[in-house]
Structure formats: structure tokens, C-alpha cells
Amino acid sequence: MSQPEKTEKFKIMVDQKPFEVENKFITGSEIKVLVSAPANYGVWLKVNGPGDDIEIENNEKIDLSDKGREHFFTGAKTTTEG
């Protein structure tokens, strides 16, 4: 009897809540769905150390296969237009 194939899960944090996702790639829109963030919110990838956090577009794919746990956060986009 063969063992069922183990599905790799990728651990991420969104708004300081842990999630496990099965896909190697995740988009900004999918991250917002996980935490029920409003559609007009932005998503950022937290960057450790100096430097700005990276904004993730709705259709931009992030590779979760890198070592470590990716930390994302959502929030209202601030605009300086108008």
C-alpha cells in the first residue's frame, strides 16, 4: 500500500495571523481574501531591516518557496493625489 503524496504547505503571516497555503504562488488579491480585507486595500510584503516594505499588486504572484515565513500586511492605501 503506497503512502498518499504529501502536499507541501507554505506558512505565511498576514496581519499577524498565521496561515498555511497549498499553492507555491499567491497573489495580492488572494492575500486580501484570507483576511477579508476590503478590495480597495493594499498588500505589502514586510522587509526586515532598513528599506521600504514592498507593495504587492492584486495580480502579482509571490513565490512562497523561499526559506522562512513571509509576512504580509494589509491596509488602506494612502494617496497624495488631488
* Arithmetic mean of pLDDT, 55-71: 91
pTM: 0.83
* Arithmetic mean of pLDDT, 52-67: 92
State percent of the chain over pLDDT 90. 70
Residues 16-33 have pLDDT tens digits of 999 999 999 999 999 999
Q: From the CB of residue 10, how many other CB atoms can be counted at a distance below 10 Å?
A: 18
pLDDT at position 3 over 70: no
15 exposure class (CB count in 10 Å sphere: 0-12, 13-18, 19+): middle
Do residues 44 and 53 touch, judged by C-beta distance below 8 A?
yes
In order of start, what are the domains of the chain with their CATH numbers? 10-76 (3.10.20)
Q: What is the pLDDT of residue 26?
A: 97
Return the H-helix or E-strand segment holding 32. Answer: helix 28-34
